[in-house]
Structure formats: structure tokens, C-alpha cells
Structure 1
Amino acid sequence: MMHALEGMTVLDLTRFIAGPFATMTLADFGARVIKIENPNEPDGNRAQGPYVDVEGEAFSAWFAQMNRNKEGMTLNLKDPEAKKLFLKMVEKADVVIENFRAGTMDKLGLGYDVLRQANPKIIYAAMSGYGQDGPYKTWPSFDGSGQAMSGLWSLNGYVDQPPVRMGTAIADYVTGFYGAIAVLTAYVHRMKTGEGQMIDLAQLDSTLTVTEAAVVGYTAGGEVEGTKGNEAPRVRPYSMYPCKDGYVFFGAYTDNLWKKAARFFGDTEAETDPDFCTTERRYDNAIFRSKVEPRIIEWFSQYTKQELLEGLSAQVPLNPIKTIKEAVEDPQINHRGMIVDIPHHDASIRMYGQPIKMSKTPAEMRRGAPKVGEDNQALFAEFFGCTPAQVAQLKENHTI
């Protein structure tokens, strides 16, 4: 099968979430991604559970999910010989991606200026917490840092209570999305011009872009948005509501959707009363709290999640709030191939698949995530002509 990114070679120095997620996306579509880890300090996500037994050893399923389709090798880039070997690989590569603090690669003597001397066409993607310049550039950063500093954290939680961190590492993942887009953009530019370039991608910048309308709400409207619980900031109803056996999301805020919901519940008054008939009236806080919200709660109290799904979900945005177990078993998710079994040596791990569906060049799950340095023998033979004895010597010298 033809792969869209076949022929692209990526040297992946990334760790944890943002970088590995970006390179996973490239690998799913056929890029050759070589994950290069420090033999003394490999990717920290290898130590994060849950674990599966792979040939008698505990192997992180989370690491496996984000590092599928990659080859694995080790290089201690603090070692002079390893630096020379890495530069030889750069000569043959298309992309180098790292997510260290700004300046780390320069300190190693492997910054962009050095790498482009080895390969003028190299695309160098630096993914960091705060970017390669500015007053915070050398600060350490985790996902919580991006959520906190971007204002995103302040938007999540219940009214009149402290803000709540988003339930997933959204700052890291959105940086990963942008990382993949940035590399592909630079790759297309290079195809047209032959020019490589440096990509400077900051987690803080990336996370700011998922604060919805909060930025322009402040700059244009003078409003500092805060926590709103499960409600949306500008439309109602658009929230979580209880039913007989759990909770549902209900987002019928347009006039047409509201009337469809009222008809389903046989509520003529909700369909015709002037206080219910327009989006503007339903959004009015006093009307919403006294009339609209109690009506919705009464509607849903008579039905189970499944009854509401079967009766109304095809007409209006009404969806059961599912557990992860329920989501993994959901027929739509499985019809779309979003739960896949990936072999890992003598084990198999079910994980999320690739959401981008291409008619001509679809993603393919070709192999599982590598063990630390799993492909050293093959890669060192390919790139440097090393024999097994020479690879063993490099390991003895702490180069790999």
C-alpha cells in the first residue's frame, strides 16, 4: 500500500507526550520515524502505566500507544562519538524533532545552525514549553504549565469554585497536533524550493489557541471569562443534565433544535411560549434558571440514557456522557476503526487508532513501539556500516 509520507525520514529525539504524539502522526502515514533515546535516561513515559507483559518484561501501554510505527535506537548525545554519529544520520534525514528546553541542543553542540551545516535541507522542529526566545524560554514546562499560563485552566471548573485542570494533557496534545502540521508545512515548502528551515513551536502559544473566544472576549468585549461549570459561555441550553441512570449532554440551543426537543417530549408550551421561543430569551439568566432549566430536568428525569439516545440523538445534539469503557465499546467508534490491536512482540495492545481517514493513502499500523534501542543492530549497520561487534563496542564505550 502506498503511504503518503513514504520516503520521509524523521529523527525523533522527543519524550513524554507532545513530541511523541506529533511523530506518531507522521509515522502512521508512512514516515520513517527513528526514535533516538538516551540509553541512561530513555523516554520517561516508558515508566508510566498501565503495563502489559512483553516477553517477560513490563511494557508501558501508554508509551506503546504514542510510539507505534517507530524504530528505536540509543545515542548518548553527551558523548563526542555519539554526536558524530548523529550528524551522519542528519545528513541522510529529512526532519529532526526535539522537545527539550530552549538552548539544550545548542549546549550539546547540535543546534539548528550546526545541523544545517551537515544538511542544508534539514527541517528542524524545536518543541518547547515557551519557545526559543522571550523571558520564559529556559523555564521547564509540563502540560499543567501550558494550561495554567495560557488561561485555559482558569476557564474550567464550577462557578464560584477554584478552577479545575482539564482532565487530559490537552496542552501537550494540542502542541503535538501543531507539531505534525508544522513539519508537513515545512516539508511541502521544501518540496517546492529545496529549502530546509527551523520550526519554533511553544506549548504556551499552542494552548492559548484552544481558549475558544476568551481572548477576543477580553480584547474586544472587555470580559475576563471564568469558570462556567458544564455550561457553554454564550449559548443555552448546552450542558450536562441528569436522567434516570446517569447524565447526558444536551445542546439544543438554536430555535429549530429547541422546537424538535419540545415536540419529542410533547411539551407544547415549551414550543410556543414567548419565553422559550428564541435563543435570546432562553439565554436570559433569569428566564433560563426559572423556566428553561427546570423544564429540561423534568424532561430527562423520565428517561434512561439509552431511551434518550434512541429517541432524540438523531434529531438534536443529545448524547449520553459515557465512561471510557463505554466509549471503547461504542459501535460508531469501532465502525470508524478507532480501536486497533497492535502487536508488541508476544503481546497485543488495544489502543486508539488514527482519526484522519484518507481515501488514497490511509494510515497503517505497521509495527508496535520499540523497546529501548531495539533496532540498534540494524540501524547502525544501515547508517554506519557497523558490525555487531562494533555495536557492542559502542555500547561498552557508553556511546549508545
Structure 2
Amino acid sequence: MKDAARIGTAEGSAGPLAGVVVLDLTRVVAGPFCAMILADLGATVIKIENPADPDYTRTFPPIVRNGSAEESAFFAQYNRNKEGIAINLRLDEGKALFRRLVREAHVVLENFRPGTMDRLGLSYEVLQAENPAIVYGAISGFGRTGPYSSRPAYDNSGQAAGGLWSMNGYPDQPPVRVGTIIGDVAASLYAAIGVLAALREAEATGRGQVVDISQQDSVLSLTESAVVRYTVDGEVARPLGNDHPFVRPYGQFPCADGFVFFGGYTDKFWALTCEIFGDPEAARDPRIDTMEKRFDPLVAETVVRPLLERWFRRHTKAELEAMVGDKVPLSAIKSIDEVVEDPHVNARGMIVELPVAGTPTRVMGLPIALPGRAAAPHRPAPAMGEHTAAVLARMLGLGADDIAALSRAGVV
């Protein structure tokens, strides 16, 4: 890392990305989540907001209230472990201040519509002139190139344009949106991977580059076999409900107190299942004694499913997991309260405490386990502009009078 990293690094930063300085211009989720991942891994992430137009997820529910203090847990979850500064990039003085910060940084992240940074006079080319090694991560609905690049987009745009929405739901019914912001999340994950790859190259060559991430591209990559089923066989993926396109039994099955996922479709797993439920002869039934026979839709629906439902309905989700879960792919379909309280999820560190409005609040953790690295307490999301003076003093050497003048001018 260059010497400037030591200037820009926040005190107490630790982890595999310690020393990496990220300027985070992103808002909402597609971008803030990427920056959060980098921050959780030890990077110094500086969230930059317009003092007159901050990230509007600061008002998103749920709101944690503690006396006179109140804070969005939604915002806090995606902006933990970051410092926060306020800069008005519409002002010339704000642009100049940002360019100075870029000289001391390694990564710039933005999720504006393509062309926005160019209009601000802060394009990649401008920033690269300030710092040739800068990695520029850009997340947008349709990417920086192509005929749709200038279109505005949200998560649902990615789900719609990437094909996933058309595949989700039940046969003979309108397609259904995936029940989470999968487009935002997928784009953030790919952005984190791309930024880390570009950082490695910048360390080796001294040259940065643009990491161009499209929500449409990201969603398309999640559609499993849909592309090759179309290009090879001309088959257009349609909603299948809880079924798989060809693997059976592999889906949702009712039990005494809810539903489970069962995926024991191979000959080995099928024989084990029949034995566990006291019916080993079912594995030798000539109608269903091979995986290929069980894949047949009619056989799966008229022979296999009734057999499984008869076995499963006698037991609860917990009983089925205890009986089968260690031997055959079977998992309870859990509601989010069950997941949050799940002992395995907690043993894996996936539910962590974060101060929100001064109140310890459980939020999702980071699903990247690095054995041997002690988990550090999570720092709260920054208040609007909370670290402006500290960051500008540390990175740029500005004194209190300099910062006060910038504040009076509306720059910070």
C-alpha cells in the first residue's frame, strides 16, 4: 500500500483490508452494502453525503428510539463501521476537496446513473489524473455501456430486466417479484469482488481501473440454467412455484407444523430416506427405483410426493431435521424469527449486535468466515457528517479554521 494509506486509515482499523481507503458516494443499498462488506473486512470506508441531500434511507423503518435519539436500523445495518463526512459536490470548492481526498484513497464507489459524475466534473478520467491507481467502482441499473445505460433503475428494474422476475411464482399465474432486493444485493456482491480484483492489479501495476457493475447483469447471472436451456433447447423458463426444472423430489413438502425443503433425489439419498422412515422396500419399487424415473413429472407427482407427504406429516419441522437432516438434504423452511434465533446461525456469527441510537440492536452479520481472526465489535453507522472535521484533518491536514470556513461556505 502507498504511504498515503497510513494517513487515510481510521484509528483502530484492523482486518485483511486494513490500510485500504474507500470513498463511498453510494446511497440506499446497491453500493452501501458493498462498502459495508469492505468496512467489515477492515477497510477505512468514508461515507460522503451532500449536506443538503443525505442518504434518504436514514429515515427508512424500522426506527430505533432511545429517549430523544432516533435512528434507522435499516440505514445502520448497511452503513456500520464507516466514517461519515459531508461535502457538497455541486460546489467548486466541494469538487476540489473531493479530488484532494481521491489522491489519498484507493477506491471510489458510486451508484449514480451513468453520466452523473461526468456532469459534476468528477469522471473517472478526472479522478485518475489525481491518482492513477484509483479503483473506481460504479454500480448502476444497466451499466456504463450499451443502449440502456442511461435508464434510471431500482432493484425491481434489475429483477425485471434480468429475467428473474419472469421465472418466479407459480405456473399459470402472473410472475412474482423475488421477496427481497436481490438486484441491489447481487450488484453489491459483484462490486465487492470486482473492487478487490482491481485493487490487486493496482497494487501490482500502479494503475487503477473502472469496475462497471450492472444490476441487470448481476440478476441475469443468478438465473441458473435458464440461459442454456433457451440457447440449447429453445425452452423459455417460466414460473415453477417450488419445483425445480427437472430434479425431483426437490422442493417444498408439508409437515405437522409447517413446511420443509427436501432434496433427497439421488439414489443414495432416496434409499436412505426410505430406510429412515421404515419403508426400505420403496427404494426398490420398480416405478421409482432410479433417479431418472423419479425425475418424471407424472411419477414424481403421483407416486413420490404422496409417499413423502405421508411420512412428513407425522412429524414437526424440528423432528424431521433431527431424524433426517444429518443424513439427507432436508431443512425446515424457517420464518425470519426462527432464523434470527437459530442456534447454528448464531454460532456462525451471522447475528451481531450494533449500536443503533445508542441501543444494542441485532442485525445481520457478514457471511465471510476467516478462521483465526477475532471478531471486532461493530462501530455504529455515522451520523450525518459526524467525522468531517476528523477525516479532513487526518487525510488533508486541514485545521479547525479551514474546516470552519468550508462549513460557512456550505461546502461541508
Task: Check whether TM > 0.5.
Answer: yes
1:203 to 184, 197, 215: 215
Question: Counterpart of 1:18 in 2: which secondary structure?
Answer: coil
1:306 Cα deviation after fit: 1.5
1:344 Cα deviation after fit: 4.0
Question: Counterpart of 2:233 in 1: which secondary structure?
Answer: coil
Q: Does the CA-based 8 Å contact 1:67-1:369 persist in structure 2?
A: yes
2:118 matched to which residue of 1?
106
1:7 matched to which residue of 2?
19
2:9 matched to which residue of 1?
none
Q: Is residue 404 of structure 2 the alignment partner of residue 398 of structure 1?
A: no
- 1:47 maps to a residue whose letter is T
Q: Does the CA-based 8 Å contact 1:163-1:227 persist in structure 2?
A: yes
2:7 matched to which residue of 1?
none
Q: Does the CA-based 8 Å contact 2:103-2:131 persist in structure 1?
A: yes
1:383 Cα deviation after fit: 3.0
For 2:27 and 2:204, the matched residues in 1 are separated by 31
Q: Does the CA-based 8 Å contact 1:217-1:223 persist in structure 2?
A: yes
For 2:390 and 2:108, the matched residues in 1 are separated by 20
- 2:276 maps to a residue whose letter is F
- 1:391 maps to a residue whose letter is I
1:190 Cα deviation after fit: 1.2
Question: Counterpart of 1:73 in 2: which secondary structure?
Answer: strand
2:164 to 120, 130, 152: 152
1:170 to 179, 182, 190: 182
- 2:322 maps to a residue whose letter is E
Question: Counterpart of 1:196 in 2: which secondary structure?
Answer: coil
1:59 matched to which residue of 2?
71
Q: Does the CA-based 8 Å contact 1:13-1:97 persist in structure 2?
A: yes
Structure 1 segment 208-357 matched on structure 2, within 5 A: 208-344=220-356, 346-357=358-369
1:179 to 157, 172, 191: 191
2:58 to 36, 41, 46: 46
**Which range moves more in the overlay, 379-388 or 281-290?**
379-388
Q: Is residue 20 of structure 2 the alignment partner of residue 33 of structure 1?
A: no
1:388 Cα deviation after fit: 3.7
For 2:314 and 2:286, the matched residues in 1 are separated by 25
- 2:87 maps to a residue whose letter is L
Q: Does the CA-based 8 Å contact 2:70-2:357 persist in structure 1?
A: no
1:51 Cα deviation after fit: 1.0
- 2:216 maps to a residue whose letter is L
Q: Does the CA-based 8 Å contact 2:353-2:378 persist in structure 1?
A: no
1:233 Cα deviation after fit: 1.3
For 2:217 and 2:318, the matched residues in 1 are separated by 41
2:28 matched to which residue of 1?
16
- Which ranges in structure 1 are unaligned for 5 or more consecutive residues? none
Q: Does the CA-based 8 Å contact 1:231-1:238 persist in structure 2?
A: yes
1:124 matched to which residue of 2?
136
1:189 matched to which residue of 2?
201
Q: Is residue 148 of structure 2 the alignment partner of residue 136 of structure 1?
A: yes
2:386 matched to which residue of 1?
374
Question: Counterpart of 1:220 in 2: which secondary structure?
Answer: helix
2:3 matched to which residue of 1?
none
Aligned length: 400
1:307 Cα deviation after fit: 1.2
- 1:52 maps to a residue whose letter is V
For 1:395 and 1:100, the matched residues in 2 are separated by 25
**Which range moves more in the overlay, 213-222 or 48-57?**
48-57
For 1:215 and 1:70, the matched residues in 2 are separated by 39
Q: 1:167 to 1:224 in 2, by over 3 A?
A: same
1:203 Cα deviation after fit: 1.0
- Which ranges in structure 2 are unaligned for 5 or more consecutive residues? 1-12
1:101-153, CA deviations, whole angstroms, 9 ceiling, x for partnerless residues?
00000000000010011111111111111111111111111110000001100
Q: Does the CA-based 8 Å contact 1:357-1:363 persist in structure 2?
A: no
For 2:134 and 2:226, the matched residues in 1 are separated by 37
For 1:361 and 1:186, the matched residues in 2 are separated by 24
1:55 Cα deviation after fit: 6.4
- 2:304 maps to a residue whose letter is V
2:5 matched to which residue of 1?
none
For 1:148 and 1:72, the matched residues in 2 are separated by 33
